[in-house]
Amino acid sequence: MKLFVGLGNPGAQYAFQRHNVGFMAVDAIAAAHDFPSWRKRFHGVATEAKLGGETVLLLKPQTYMNESGRSVGEAVRFYKLDPADVIAFHDELDLAPGKIRVKTGGGTAGHNGLKSLTAHIGNDYVRVRIGIGHPGNRALVRDYVLHDFAKADHAWLEPLLGGMAEAAPDLAQGATDKFQSFVAHTVQSEAEAEAPPEPAPRQRRAKPSAEKTKEPVAGGTLSSMLRRWLGS
């Protein structure tokens, strides 16, 4: 069994903040793979289903970011899991927006959610570091992470969430390189699709052609949900 934990703060006022991208990730996974309805468990909300043949519990602690480990610790003890079975999705200031990295163990880089997890279950859990970029000044970090994603961020955030959701079975099976590669390709492909076409050479005139319909990144249901969610 695997425990996928989204790190964030409960409440509608926090729902779209950069610090809540971990919540967004597990919400996208639940929607893409038809998980049952969320229900209250372990001082959080949880839902359980199969991903890639592996039983996966999705958990969103409702203890606020700084006490996330209390919720996760309860789930770990209940299911007798090893820290390596826990995969935490969290925002990462030191990665560019739209980038992800998967690693086991390591430091917390001042992230209070990770600090709390480490205090309750040890350090050897897996982290999916979701890049949100850095404001450029340490004094601005708090306001930056506790601020909603900008409209311009939607261009990379939707394919990022969709890619993580679609590749979640690979992550559940431990195929982290495959998971990372798929997400990176998804984000890059969307960026290329959104880029304006290069102008034709002056001596030539481009022939008109029918516009192709772009396929949704992660299926109609998830794509529609994300577009409604992101207000685009």
Kindly report the pTM of this predicted structure.
0.86
Structural domains in the chain plus CATH codes: 2-192+212-230 (3.40.50.1470)
* pLDDT tens digits, 40-53: 999 999 999 999 89
What pLDDT score does 220 carry? 43
Residue 98's CB is within 10 A of a number of other CB atoms, namely: 23
Rounded CA-CA distance 182/6 in Å is 20
Query: DSSP letters of 187-223?
Result: HHHHHHHHSPPPPPPTTS-PPP-PPPPPPPTT-HHHH
DSSP element (H, E) containing 30: helix 21-32
Given a contact cutoff of 8 angstroms between Cβ atoms, the answer to whether 165 and 100 are in contact is: no
What pLDDT score does 194 carry? 73
**Residue tagged active-site, from 19, 33, 111, 120:** 19
Q: Does residue 19 have an active-site annotation? A: yes
Least confident of 58-67, 68-77, 105-114, 210-219: 210-219
Q: How long a stretch of residues is the chain?
A: 232
Q: Position of tokens 């005139």? A: 205
Least confident of 2-6, 111-115, 126-130, 213-217: 213-217
Q: Using a CB cutoff of 8 Å and minimum separation of 24, what contacts does 43-52 make? A: 43/70, 43/71, 43/74, 44/71, 44/75, 46/75, 51/2, 51/168, 51/169, 51/171, 51/172, 52/168, 52/169, 52/170, 52/172, 52/173
Q: For the residues 11-29, what does the mean pLDDT come to?
A: 96
What pLDDT score does 224 carry? 59
What pLDDT score does 109 carry? 85
What pLDDT score does 217 carry? 39
Q: For the residues 72-88, what does the mean pLDDT come to?
A: 98
Query: What percent of the chain shows pLDDT beyond 90?
Result: 78
* pLDDT tens digits, 182-225: 999 999 988 888 766 666 566 655 554 444 333 333 344 555 55
